[in-house]
Structures are given as structure tokens and as C-alpha cells.
């Protein structure tokens, strides 16, 4: 009987699919990470790995997994995997695209509105017993209605964020992407702009690219300086895309107005991070896709990738070919 190991407890939908397909499934159920040695051991004892969590899967680890029929990621992001090494070693890697776009875009939307209205900060004031004496000039946020949203990375999630913002707030949509997306331009009335124009014209910038050598640290001292002093920066993609010390400085010096982060660098964020005390900042602990419906759907897709690989069929969601993008 073929054996599958999952690096976290996975939702019921994916688990029961694997079991109904006749595989023996072992799950890591401890509330902490396994050691690297345990991970290698589990890999050796199984035929497929269903990988949840952002740990690095580097060449040294992958070399010990050559016998696996697939490493099925329970995520759309694959930046934690050395895809070049995996491909050279003949290891199939798969992901779970599409099903988490709505939930993740909703998280970006939640952050945008929370920053604009300083919601997390106001909540913390109440917790501290500081409801305060309200005046017509206190507790002011900013309106989102009619403002310009700049999407960096108009793929699956970026397109949903744009659609939500256009429908809810009549925002003007501009975007910068590796390729023009003419369908989205029509349906969202979106305008394709250069990265420089995106920085200069956006009231809100929402980042939805993958993390690659090209996008790493793209938001830094220099790029924040090109943004409006009233701008809000949202990142629900990967923390490595912004330079965190530069973001802190940009907010402290009033170079930009606010930031909403579902992803940080590093994760977890240290509780003493100054971002957590700033009124115009909202931080979430990487919960972009964390709804019951979405995580169930992700587990189903991840299980389908495992089942296809173990039955010798083409996997529905391969990512090996993306390593040079």
C-alpha cells in the first residue's frame, strides 16, 4: 500500500480523498515543527509528501527525497522550494492555485480598510482602557472611495482584489504585471502602467506577485520614496517582497502613510516590532487563505495532486517548469 505523509494535520476533505484512494496517511500532529532529521526520516518512509508550512525545501533536503513520487504543496506559493534542484533531481512539485484567491484577496481588502480607519490601533486603545475623549478632529482615518488602487502582480489574487475594490469603492485600478492582462483591463477597466507610474500614482499599492529574486526587497527605501506621502502599502503575498527595516523607517518618517501586512519578514514577527505600535499599521499572522472553505478546497487540490502522482497520471498542478520565471 502506498504511503503519504502530511507535515501538518490537513482538513477533512483532502484527508478523506487520500484515504478513499487507498493510501496509508500519516500526519504530523504535534503543535510544533518537526526537526530536520525527523522530516528526512518521514520522507524516507513514505511515497509522497503533502507539505504544509513555509519551511525551506533546499537541495540538501530534496536530495534525500528522490524516491518520492511528488511533493504536493498545500499553498499556491512555492518560493520555499528550490525548484531548480527539484527538477534536476526528477522530483515533481505541485501547488494549489485558484481556490484561495477570494480568501486571500479578502485579507488584503480587510487590511486596506483597517489601515485607512486605523482599526487595529483603535481596538488596542480600548483594550488598554483608553477609549478617550472623542472630538470631531480625533480618530480620523482616510476615505478609500474613488481612490487609485495600484496592483503589483495582476494574477489570480490581484485580479480579485481589484474587482472587490472597484465594486465596493469605485476605485480606479492601475496595475503593473510581468505581462499585460487584456481581459482584466476590459473587465476591471484597469490601466497597465510601469512600476514607476504605479509607485507615483497609487493611493493604495497592493502586492500580489510571487516572491522571486526579481521581486525580493522590491519595496525598499528608494521605492517607498517614490510613493505618495498619503499612500497605503498592502502586502498579502510574501514578506520578502518588502524590506522591513525600510518600511519601518518610511512610516516613522512620514514617507508613506500606512501599511497592512499579512506577511512579514521574518515570520513570525517579533512582538517588539515597532510596526505593531503604529496607528496606521495593521499586521496579521499570515492568515490570507485561512477560511474553512478555502483550506478544505486547498486540501482537496493537494490530495488530487498526490493521487495523480501515485497512480502514475499527470499531476493537475505542476510547478517545476516555473523555476526560471
Ligand X SMILES: NC(=O)C1=CN([C@@H]2O[C@H](COP(=O)(O)OP(=O)(O)OC[C@H]3O[C@@H](n4cnc5c(N)ncnc54)[C@H](O)[C@@H]3O)[C@@H](O)[C@H]2O)C=CC1
Beta bridge partners of 285: none
In the set 267, 270, 277, 293, the catalytic residue is 267
Fill in the per-residue mask, 217 to 236: x = in contact with ligand X (CB under 6 A), - = not in contact.
-------------------x
- Residue numbers 122-161 binding ligand X by CB under 6 A: 153-158
Sites of contact with ligand 3PY (CB under 6 A) = 75-77, 100, 288-289
Pick 25 or 105: Cβ nearer ligand X:
105
Query: What residue 155 binds from ligand X, ligand 3PY, none (CB within 5 to 8 A, per partner kind)?
Result: ligand X
| Rounded least distance, CB 96 to ligand X, Å | 9
Comparing every residue's Cβ against ligand 3PY, the nearest one is 77
Q: Is 286 a catalytic residue?
A: yes
Strands (E) across the chain are located at 3-6, 24-27, 48-51, 70-73, 93-94, 148-152, 172-176, 191-192, 204-207, 232-235, 258-261, 281-283
Q: Which does 208 bind (CB under 5 to 8 A by kind): ligand X, ligand 3PY, none?
A: ligand X
Please say which residue, 227 or 297, places its beta carbon nearer to ligand 3PY: 297
**For the chain, what is the total number of helices (H) and then of strands (E)?**
12, 12
Q: Does 73 bind ligand X (CB under 6 A)?
A: no
Whole-angstrom Cα distance, residue 70 to residue 92?
5
Residue 95 to residue 299: CA distance in whole angstroms: 10
3-class SS of residue 114: helix
Least distance CB 3 / ligand X (angstroms) = 28
Note if 267 is an active site residue: yes
59 is an active site residue? no
- Cβ closest to ligand 3PY, residue 16 vs residue 156: 156
CA distance 280 to 322: 36
- Interaction partner, residue 211 (ligand 3PY, ligand X, none; CB < 5-8 Å by kind): ligand X
Answer for which of 208, 242, 295, 300 binds ligand X (CB under 6 A) is: 208
Q: How far is the CB of 134 from ligand 3PY (least distance, A)?
A: 38
Q: What backbone torsions phi and psi does residue 131 show, to the nearest 5 degrees?
A: -60, -40
- What's the closest the beta carbon of residue 108 comes to ligand X, in angstroms? 8
The answer to whether 169 and 143 are in contact (CB under 8 A) is no
Residue 77 or 260: the one with the smaller Cβ distance to ligand X is 77
What is the secondary structure of 185-252 as a DSSP string? HHHHT-EE--HHHHHHH-SEEEE-PPP-TTTTT-BSHHHHHTS-TT-EEEE-S-GGGB-HHHHHHHHH
Q: What angle do CA 215, 265, 98 make, to 5 degrees?
A: 60
Catalytic machinery residues: 238, 267, 286
Amino acid at each position: 500500500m502506498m504511503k503519504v505523509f502530511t507535515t501538518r494535520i490537513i482538513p477533512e476533505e483532502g484527508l478523506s480523498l487520500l484515504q478513499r484512494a487507498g493510501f496509508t496517511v500519516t500526519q504530523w500532529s504535534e503543535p510544533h515543527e518537526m526537526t530536520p532529521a525527523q522530516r528526512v526520516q518521514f520522507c524516507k518512509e513514505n511515497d509522497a509528501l503533502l507539505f504544509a508550512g513555509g519551511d525551506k525545501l533546499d537541495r540538501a533536503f530534496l536530495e534525500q527525497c528522490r524516491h518520492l513520487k511528488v511533493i504536493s504543496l498545500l499553498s499556491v506559493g512555492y518560493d520555499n522550494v528550490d525548484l531548480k534542484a527539484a527538477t534536476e533531481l526528477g522530483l515533481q512539485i505541485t501547488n494549489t492555485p485558484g481556490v484561495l484567491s477570494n480568501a486571500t484577496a479578502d485579507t488584503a481588502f480587510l487590511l486596506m480598510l483597517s489601515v485607512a480607519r486605523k482599526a487595529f490601533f483603535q481596538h488596542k486603545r480600548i483594550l488598554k482602557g483608553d477609549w478617550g475623549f472623542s472630538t470631531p478632529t480625533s480618530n480620523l482615518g482616510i476615505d478609500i472611495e474613488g481612490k487609485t488602487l495600484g496592483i503589483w502582480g495582476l494574477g489570480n489574487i490581484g485580479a480579485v482584489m481589484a474587482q472587490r475594490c472597484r465594486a465596493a469603492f469605485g476605485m480606479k485600478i492601475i496595475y503593473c504585471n510581468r505581462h499585460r492582462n487584456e481581459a482584466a483591463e476590459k473587465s476591471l477597466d484597469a490601466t497597465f502602467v510601469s512600476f514607476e507610474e504605479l509607485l507615483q500614482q497609487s493611493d493604495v499599492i497592493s502586492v500580489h506577485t510571487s516572491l522571486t529574486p526579481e521581486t525580493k526587497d522590491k519595496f525598499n527605501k528608494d521605492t517607498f520614496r517614490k510613493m505618495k506621502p498619503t499612500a497605503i502599502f498592502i502586502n498579502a503575498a510574501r514578506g520578502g517582497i518588502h524590506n522591513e527595516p525600510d518600511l519601518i523607517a518610511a512610516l516613522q518618517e512620514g514617507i508613506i502613510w500606512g501599511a497592512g501586512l499579512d506577511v512579514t519578514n521574518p515570520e513570525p514577527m517579533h512582538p517588539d516590532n515597532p510596526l505593531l505600535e503604529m496607528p496606521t499599521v495593521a499586521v496579521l499572522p499570515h492568515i490570507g487563505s485561512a477560511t474553512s472553505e478555502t483550506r478544505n478546497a486547498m486540501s482537496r487540490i493537494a490530495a488530487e495532486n498526490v493521487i495523480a502522482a501515485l497512480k502514475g497520471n499527470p499531476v493537475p498542478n505542476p510547478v517545476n517548469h516555473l523555476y526560471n520565471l
